[in-house]
Amino acid sequence: MSLFLLNNKELFFELFKAHTQDDVDAVIKKHPNTFKQENWSPLGGNENNYGVIENQQASPIASLIEKITNSIDATLMKKCYESGIDPKSDSAPRTMEAAREKFFPEYKNWDLNGPRKSQAKNIQILADGPKFNTSLTIYDNGEATFM
């Protein structure tokens, strides 16, 4: 067992390499000092933010769809910022279809190999872990948000 607190990078990589819930539990047990209650604080420093976490989708399918939709939204937001458009302004596209046409004028070619491959790099779903205990990672190259 480690008697020291991990730095954020070390902790990230240990958890990143944990492919199942059991692996995550093993990381927690390996570093009891890091995972002491007093080392953690509520999301945003607000005890009431527990509802933000608990308010996720109850259904795994709905949750997956929500995460992919969030990735699409983040990609469109990034395109707004890259074009010098405030996504909340009146000059921003009002619908996903309008955003697709504005930022991806070649979208009708996405069924062709080259454009599809290029676009697929921006949103990816990665499966990892054992066959019946798989975990999914959804990656997007969209806007980065920080709390």
What string of pLDDT tens digits covers the 147 residues of the chain?
A: 444 556 888 889 999 899 888 999 999 999 888 888 888 888 788 888 777 766 667 788 888 898 999 899 999 999 999 999 999 999 999 998 999 999 998 888 888 888 888 888 889 998 888 888 888 889 999 987 543
Cβ-contact 92, 80 below 8 angstroms: yes
List Cβ neighbours of 90 (8 Å cut-off, separation of 6 or more): none
Amino acid at position 57, single letter: Q
Handedness of CA 12, 32, 43, 20 (dihedral sign): positive
Looking at residue 6, what is its pLDDT?
A: 65
- Token output for 100: 């697709």
H/E segment holding residue 126? strand 123-128
